Structure 1
Amino acid sequence: MLHGERLDRPTYTLITSLDGGTSDVVLTDHEIFGIQVVQKTVSLLGVPDGVATSEPRVLEGLEHDHLVRVREAQWDPDHDEALQCITFTTDFYPGRSLLYALEQGHEFSVRDVLEIVDGILSALVYLHEECGLLHRDIKLGNVMLAADMKHARLGDLALAAAMDPSTGTTEPANATPLYIAPEAAAGALDVRSDLYQVGCVMLELLNGLLPYAEIDRDKVDSRLSEGRRPLSNPNYDPAPWVPANVARVLRKLVAQDPDRRYASAREALRAVRHLRCVGWQRIGGAALVGRWSGKYPPNVPAARARVYEVNAELVEKGKYQGQLLLTARWRNANSVDWRNYAGLTRRVPVEDARELASFFRDVEAKAHSAPTR
């Protein structure tokens, strides 16, 4: 870590080490400012077109409510010079990263996910349109959260590069394989490549972490070299409880063909902001067994909304043993009295994600048709 110019009176004092994946990350006290900051050391070896290598001053000038604030950057004295390591000092965000939150078991509601994605896309509108930069390394670990676990800040621009003014493209970067856009195999990335990575983040926030331990890295590399997505198609399917309109936005973001994605971050942001849906959040269970709750409409005072609940319970006895019993109910937000949707009750095979998705669609339709008080 960096200590400052005076070892007898350091600017930075260590609090703890943080998980930074392949980077060295520490949480420190800034003794002069009286705040906590993060130091992250990254190697710029193999990133000759990155702004951190060619024009590091650009990073200092970036200012947006959804970008991590860079306070300082220094060539790191403790690494081999050949590695071209820079230590960035940034603000500390109490919610840590999206990756950390998911690893700690935090459950994001659909509304939370849309707010987070809104923030990331807002940052990309700024980077793409005002700064002419592609981020090229958007992933769970590079998105920080405020204490409310909703306000997102996009960070780690070590791989960011300026777009060619005439083509709007950059060369591919050595990013995390599971987030690399398929078109990287053709040798050029554009704004739609960043949007693909946003879609990958959105997918894991909605579905849960990918089964990293089970993924064959050789197969991932092979698929990428052929211009395909790094994982097979079923891995990109939204979870059954994801509302249909949200699922459409997600599928468009992670489309294998960049021509099928949104043309710009601004267009994608507009689509996200137009979404109205039940903000489902799992409140118990695992896989397709569990309980979900959500409010609707999203744009009315809390007291005027309705609360909806879906329960998928495993039948343990009788004729339907081994199947899922699906039930739904609702109540006014300011009431404790539930009303059942008896007409929606059904039993389905325990692994039938399609039937569970259909049930959520039916409950969503009930929510959309209910009068707002």
Structure 2
Amino acid sequence: MEDRDRILADRYRLVRPLGQGGMGEVWEARDESLLRPVAVKVISVLAGGGSRSGEARARFLREARITAALQHPHIVTVHDLGEAATDEGTTPFLVMELLRGQGLDAVIRRGPAGEADAARWGAQVCEALAEAHAAGILHRDIKPANLFVTALGSLKVLDFGIARAADPSAAGDRLTHTGFVVGSAAYMAPEQARGHPEQRSDLYALGCVLFELLTGRLPFTAPDTVGYLTAHLHDVPPAPSSVAPGVSAAWDDLVLRLLAKDPGRRYDSAAALADELRRLDGPAHAAPPAPRSTPT
């Protein structure tokens, strides 16, 4: 999709591209009905014809409606859902609130963020995950590129459920015979790599993100997807302090617990992890989670 000023669904005028990934493109757009700026994500991986593509689009639309029902201060708000005709074929798109700020991946590229930011942002991710998990929704792709730091300094989680929903050949929760990995290999829990994701798989991925925030690098490095999956399945992760000597022992304990191969050795829930992160952030932040937002 290259034509700027193109209008999707006779309503959303594309203004400028914001980014491109494996699933599609994100555009800044203008809602011509409500006269407000929005973000539009076009899921180009689902473009094309054929029965399999049609089934994948139907599943995506169904799951997108489920995840759009999530209302929380730390989850990006989905305004609308539709389908558009492109050169490749019909493809779904999501309309979301337009965020101002930067992705957490851009923050990490500048170096370690420090313990205070790691604790605060980590707790906010946990609050979002707790909301989703309570609704029976797994994220499956927690990574810095799916976490956004707003201009006010708070964090929003993006793309709930999209990784699985956009798999054009998924069979239940299993990895597919085509090799499509549901999630990102560099952050993938061992049980998710085996095709059995659960709520604590999201916590494992968050453990990788926290390791990266504290040290500036991932717990494992590998040349390719197979190398990352092998490391998550079999290698012992280093303590963050062995990479960044200033990291405290309390952080070592928390991160290594999250990176345990056995999900049963991790924190029981996102809410329990949020409590621990608030304690690491100090008494001033040991307050209950932010209340749920009320749709208007």
| TM-score bracket relative to the smaller structure | 0.7 to 0.9
CA distance in 1, matches of 2:40, 2:87: 15
Question: Contact 2:212–2:219 at 8 Å: present in 1 too?
Answer: no
Match of 2:169 in 1: none
The Cα shift of 1:118 comes to 0.7
Q: 1:208 aligns with which of 206, 216, 224?
A: 216
Question: Contact 1:76–1:86 at 8 Å: present in 2 too?
Answer: yes
Aligned residues: 261
Structure having the higher helix fraction is: 2
CA distance in 2, matches of 1:53, 1:78: 17
Match of 2:82 in 1: 74
Work out whether 1:86 is the aligned partner of 2:86. no
Work out whether 1:266 is the aligned partner of 2:271. yes
Partner SS, residue 62 of structure 1: coil
One-letter amino acid matched to 1:254:
L
Which stretch has the larger CA shift, 61-70 or 45-54? 45-54
Cα-Cα RMSD? 3.4
Question: Contact 1:29–1:37 at 8 Å: present in 2 too?
Answer: yes
- What runs of 5+ residues in structure 1 fail to find an aligned partner? 162-168, 278-296, 301-373
CA distance in 1, matches of 2:152, 2:38: 18
CA distance in 1, matches of 2:275, 2:99: 27
Structure having the higher strand fraction is: 1
Match of 1:281 in 2: none
Question: Contact 2:14–2:27 at 8 Å: present in 1 too?
Answer: no
Work out whether 1:19 is the aligned partner of 2:19. yes
Question: Contact 1:170–1:190 at 8 Å: present in 2 too?
Answer: no
The Cα shift of 1:59 comes to 2.6
Question: Contact 1:73–1:87 at 8 Å: present in 2 too?
Answer: yes
The Cα shift of 1:33 comes to 3.5
What do the CA deviations read for 1:132-187 (whole angstroms, capped 9, x no partner)? 111111111111121033x11111121357xxxxxxx9445521111111113433
CA distance in 2, matches of 1:251, 1:50: 39
User: TM-score, structure 2 length as denominator?
Assistant: 0.75
Q: 2:184 aligns with which of 176, 184, 194?
A: 176
- What runs of 5+ residues in structure 2 fail to find an aligned partner? 47-51, 166-171, 176-180, 287-296
CA distance in 2, matches of 1:50, 1:199: 33
Match of 2:230 in 1: 223
CA distance in 2, matches of 1:99, 1:137: 14
CA distance in 2, matches of 1:154, 1:264: 17
One-letter amino acid matched to 2:18:
L
Work out whether 1:121 is the aligned partner of 2:132. no
One-letter amino acid matched to 1:153:
K
The Cα shift of 1:54 comes to 3.7
What do the CA deviations read for 1:352-372 (whole angstroms, capped 9, x no partner)? xxxxxxxxxxxxxxxxxxxxx
Match of 1:192 in 2: 200
